[in-house]
Structure 1
Amino acid sequence: MRKFALLITIGFGMIFQAATAQEIAVLKYKGGGDWYANPTALPNLIRYCNQTINTEINPKPETVEPGSSLLFQYPYIHMTGHGNIFFSDEEASNLRTYLLAGGFLHIDDNYGMEPYLKKELKKIFPEKELEEISTEHPIFSERFKFPNGLPKIHEHDGKRPQALGIFDKNRLILLFTFESDLGDGWEDPEVHNDPPEVRQKALQMGANIIQYAFKN
């Protein structure tokens, strides 16, 4: 796995932090949205990744706030929810530094967060736009093949699933999965009663995302 090495400014000093651990965290954002949604999703995805793609991720994901220096310990940050999102200027700046320095943010719309998210992303990257990711992108073939792109896990508005991203020098640094609801497919089977084949697709796509984030 690549070395996740970042230069972080804390107070008046400079700390060079290098981490090779395969760890992930949930982003605890402000604004009132339920950042804590799908509590069984990431533990199940972690278990699946550890079993199928040879990761060694801590079974219990940590929680991190967007303005915290602890953000830089994690090569993959997960964000989800249904409602409002708010980043302060300081949080947006910290997220920008994290992403440009090698971090990866996966935002999985649990339904209803899109309009709030797009507004807040402008604080992080005023010069960049979300763009649809080609089905030829390696994230769709890291380990499991998705020749048609992002799988549809749950119906909401009857729209097609979209994988949207923000890139820096051809590296995907932010992934927004929309009208798919991967996280619901990662949850315990009894939560949504999804068929095994639907959950399998969700977990496989999640494993692809994790592997891409750890490699790039």
Structure 2
Amino acid sequence: MGIALLALVVSSNPLSAQPQRPGASGGPGGPGGMRSADRWGNEGDLGGSLVRTEGSGIIDEDVVRTAREVVSHSTGTPSWENPRGFEKDVFTFTRAIFRAAPTTAPSPSFHRGRRIGWWVDFPDADLNLSFRLQQMTSMRTDPDGRVLKLNDPDLRHYPFLFMEHPGYMQLRDSEIAGLRKYLLAGGVLTVIDFWNSIEWNGFAAQMKKVMPERTWTELTIDHPIFHCVFDLKGPMQRLQVPTMQFWNRNRDPNDPSAPLQIDRGPDSDVMSVRAMLDDRGRIMVIAFHNSDISDGWEREGEHQDYFEVFSERVSYPLGVNLIFYLMTH
């Protein structure tokens, strides 16, 4: 499992770019993962291999292979190409498919009656971050991205794996074995956008099945991952990104007790970053709890203030740092 990664060369003012606006290219929505253009239906598991997303229609988990196959549900995603002959000599943003526990009872009120899963912010977050990495650095990135199940043998070809909303994740034995093999072989799992103590406990219980011998280490703002390319200032709470729909736009930034967003469940107000390390101290899993960093990638073109406050100042600098550090350590 390897990747030819050039040293990052960040432009002199990389985050002055304007947000992607409506009219940017969206995914073609080809015959692969998409089954419907139904845009506003209820999200969640439809049975079998079909899931209804938060606005991109129905996806067949057994068929979908890339983010590019799925229609944007935000303001569109950019398109780009790499030189012929070097298509594989790139960084590929790879998202994990997993199944959530079946809803046997009404979900907590902070989920508004539904449980959400791996497809949140997909495909916009994946493609927007990939484009910004190519735009802002010397890194070449895959213009399509990948999406894979945890028991897919192709997983070994992609050293970076992204997971979103795993609070109700239920892993099958083959997925537990596949993810464990991946992590022990040098792969790294990044987890973003899950909230409260209920979802942390659900995710942590599944990871205990994968790596029962490992424990969690709390990372502080002094960790080099926060300073390796962009120097992100503390405290850690400054890196909390609210989901845009839940953002409290009237919040007084001078009042630290004022909520950044509406209630997301018990113990959802304080952001934390936890890592699972191997025997050499390498990060195998890094979890950003109580922060929707990927919403800053996904929704960068929807609201100018949100772009300037969160996408520009937190989500993209942290995304660049994250990829650079994990792929070079």
Range of TM-score over shorter length: 0.7 to 0.9
Q: Superposition RMSD on alpha carbons, in Å? A: 2.4
The answer on whether the counterparts of 2:3 and 2:91 sit within 8 Å (CA) in structure 1 is: no
1:64 lines up with 2:148 in the alignment? yes
1:121 to 203, 207, 223: 207
Encode CA deviations 1:114-138: one digit per residue, 9 max, x unaligned. 2321110111111112221132222
Contact 2:271 2:289 (8 Å CA) reproduced: yes
| Aligned position for 1:3 | 2
Q: For residue 162 of structure 1, what is the amino acid of its counterpart?
A: S
Q: Which amino acid aligns with 2:207?
A: L
Structure 1 residue aligned with 2:241? 153
Amino acid in the other structure paired with 2:286:
L
Paired position in structure 1 for 2:296: 185
Distance, in Å, in 2 between the alignment partners of 1:137 and 1:43 is 27
Which structure is larger by alpha-carbon Rg, 1 or 2? 2
2:96–2:161 contact (8 Å) kept in structure 1 = yes
What's the secondary structure of 2:306's corresponding residue? coil
Structure-1 residue corresponding to 2:285: 174
Aligned amino acid, residue 315 of structure 2: A
**Larger fraction in helix:** 1
Task: Give the CA deviation at 1:95.
Answer: 0.9
Whole-angstrom CA distance in 1 between matches of 2:232 and 2:146: 29
Matches within 5 A, 1:19-38: 21-32=90-101, 33-38=116-121
1:195 offset after TM fit, Å? Answer: 4.1
Q: Matches of 1:83 and 1:132 in 2, distance apart?
A: 19
**Residue in 2 that maps onto 1:139:** 225
Is 1:202 the counterpart of 2:312? The answer is: no
Moved more, 87-96 or 175-184: 87-96
Q: Distance in 2 between matches of 1:178 and 1:133?
A: 12
Provide Cα deviations, 1:66-115, integer angstroms capped at 9, x if missing partner: 11111111111110026510112221122111112111100112436323
User: Counterparts of 1:93 and 1:4 in 2: how far apart (Å)?
Assistant: 23
- Unaligned regions of 5+ residues in structure 1, if any? 6-18
Farther off after superposition, 20-29 or 178-187: 20-29
Deviation (angstroms), 1:46: 0.8
User: Contact 2:100–2:166 at 8 Å: present in 1 too?
Assistant: no
State the SS of the aligned residue for 2:284. strand
2:248 maps to 1:162 = no
CA-CA distance at 1:21 after TM superposition? 3.9
Residue 91 of structure 2 aligns to which amino acid in structure 1?
Q
- Name the CA distance, whole Å, in 2 between partners of 1:196 and 1:127: 42
- Are the equivalent residues in 2 in contact too, given 1:89–1:123 (CA < 8 A)? no
Contact 1:44–1:188 (CA under 8 A) maintained in structure 2: no
Q: Which structure carries more strand by proportion?
A: 1
Moved more, 186-195 or 22-31: 186-195
How many aligned positions are there?
Answer: 202
Q: For residues 20 and 123 of structure 1, what CA distance do their matches in structure 2 show?
A: 34
Amino acid at match of 1:153: V
TM-score (norm 1): 0.84
Task: Give the counterpart of 2:127 among 34, 43, 58.
Answer: 43
Partner Cα distance (1:54, 1:188) in 2: 24
8 Å contact from structure 1 (residues 37, 80) kept in 2: yes
